[in-house]
Amino acid sequence: MEITHIGNRGMVFTFDDLSSPDYACPTNVYVIHTGKSFFICDTFLGPASMKEVKEYLEKEYGEKEYIIFNSHSHWDHHWGNSAFPKSKIIAHELCMEDMRENAESILEKNAKFKRGKVTITYPNLLFKNNLNFDEEQILIFHSPGHTLDSSSCYDSADKVLFVGDNLEEPIPYINSNLEGLKVYIESLKYYTSLNIDAIVPGHGQVSDKSLLEANLHYLENFPNLAELIDIEKQGKSFYIVHLANLNRLATIYADEKNNLEALKYFKLLLEINEQVNLYEEESLKTINQRIKDLDK
Ligand SMILES: [Zn+2]
């Protein structure tokens, strides 16, 4: 675990447990020390991960009230809630809904990733639009994008924005059809109206408005690419995520029985892969089979 101080009162705790030899996935827990409390943005994989965070904070600053914020319902962001059974745990009401439905079964499925004894610990302070902590100069607000329940935390004293998984290096993952994408873009446009010195994403390095601009540029052009394909310039991971996004988009349309749209994006995926060559034989076979089935 690595600790980076940002601004006057922010700390990013970065964990590498989810990285693998071919997939770097550093995950961030962002902490704002307001003087009388610690705001903890996301809680990673369990109480054992949070023990390291708590020990550091209490050693440096003494014991304070903990206030927890979950950016969304994905398991890598809330399993550590169980380290804070008596604290306020804030989340969007859709996050709660999703957790109630899925958290237990996902915990069972991904049990090998848990750190310490994880008991699903639900949020106990829900909001719909936003939650303002005036005195602490902290605003928590709904920012649907990566998921419909995604929310963000803005520290206006330090001008730091914690975005959960809404922004990613080099480009974000898309989990909706093109209609849903409009909502995602609106959330990022709202980010651009904030006065921001630093952006803390749920995964990857601390960045600034350049990450926001690059992600917004990509989403506004999606499913097309804004630039000509250039694997040297953009890097492999850019196209790996782009192909995953086309695959997801096509799959969503297929699930919605919108076969024409599904076909269009599976074919676009194959076209781009011809140029970047990132798909294994096996995956190509699966996609060609899907195209055949949809064409019937
Ligand atoms: Zn995540």
For residue 52, the CA-to-ligand 1 centroid distance in Å is: 19
- Do both 129 and 180 map to the same domain? yes
CA of 72 to the centre of ligand 1 (A): 9
Ligand 1 centroid to Cα of residue 165, in Å, is 6
d(CA 205, CA 59): 25
Confidence of residue 71 (pLDDT cuts 50, 70, 90): very high
What are the pLDDT digits (tens) for 264-274? 999 999 999 99
Note the pLDDT of residue 215: 97
Q: How far is the CA of 269 from the centre of ligand 1 (A)?
A: 25
pTM of the model: 0.95
Q: Are residues 204 and 251 in the same domain?
A: no
Residue 161 and residue 194 in contact, taking contact as beta carbons nearer than 8 Å:
yes
Query: CB–CB of 50/43 below 8 Å?
Result: yes
Shared domain check, 129 and 245: no
What is the rounded distance in angstroms from the CA atom of residue 155 to the CA atom of residue 31? 11
Cross-strand pairs, 22: none
Judge whether residue 23 has pLDDT over 80.
Answer: no
- Ion ligand 1: residue ranges with CB closer than 5 A: 76, 165, 202
Q: Please state the domain count of the chain.
A: 2
**Domain assignment of residue 140, given as a range:** 2-208
Name, in order, each residue with C-beta under 8 angstroms of 76's C-beta and a sequence gap of 6 or more.
18, 27, 44, 45, 113, 202
Kindly give the distance from the C-alpha atom of residue 48 to the centroid of ligand 1, in angstroms, as a whole number.
Answer: 18
Read off the pLDDT of residues 32-58 as tens digits, 9 standing for 90 and up.
999 999 999 999 999 999 999 999 999
140, 72 in Cβ contact below 8 A?
no
Q: What is the CATH number of the domain that holds 112?
A: 3.60.15.10
